[in-house]
Amino acid sequence: MIDRRSIDIGSIDIRAFEPRWSQDFARLNIDWLERYFKVEPIDREVLSDPQTHILDHGGRVLMAVDEHDHVVGTVALKREDAGVYELTKMAVEPAQHGRGIGRLLMQAALEEFRAIGGRELFLESSSKLGPALQLYESVGFRHRPAPRPGSKYVRADVYMVWEPGEE
């Protein structure tokens, strides 16, 4: 599992969350939310305390860190139920878009999902986020009727489930 090691990918390392990166986790996510939508109460709750809302419940948070130890991206696996995880809080610093950091984060998240024995992985997104949807589709996420039953996000008009082997 990534908790005890890092994956070296060129000048970007994908690392397990450390408390010192709490502000970066919030900063990256709030930035894109404010750019495209608005920050919803569920976002503020999770972003203000990833330890309590993600990690303590068996989830994972991964951080993309450059050679200068600067956090440039993040993604989380939030445990919803036994073996069921939501891929969430994926964000890359705007100046770093187009470098493949999102794909590196996605690959690491899928590896982590497999390592923890997850059986279902889903995400909620928005049709406004075309490049993100293309990334999700390219790694095997498939569209389902939206919104997802029990969705907590007003902005979510896309619901996708990962189908391994469809990558």
Average pLDDT, the chain: 90
35-86 per-position pLDDT tens digit: 989 899 889 999 999 999 999 999 999 999 999 999 999 999 999 999 999 9
In order of their start, the domains of the chain are 2-118 (3.40.630.30)
133 vs 137: CA distance, rounded Å: 6
Distance from the first to the final alpha carbon of the chain: 21
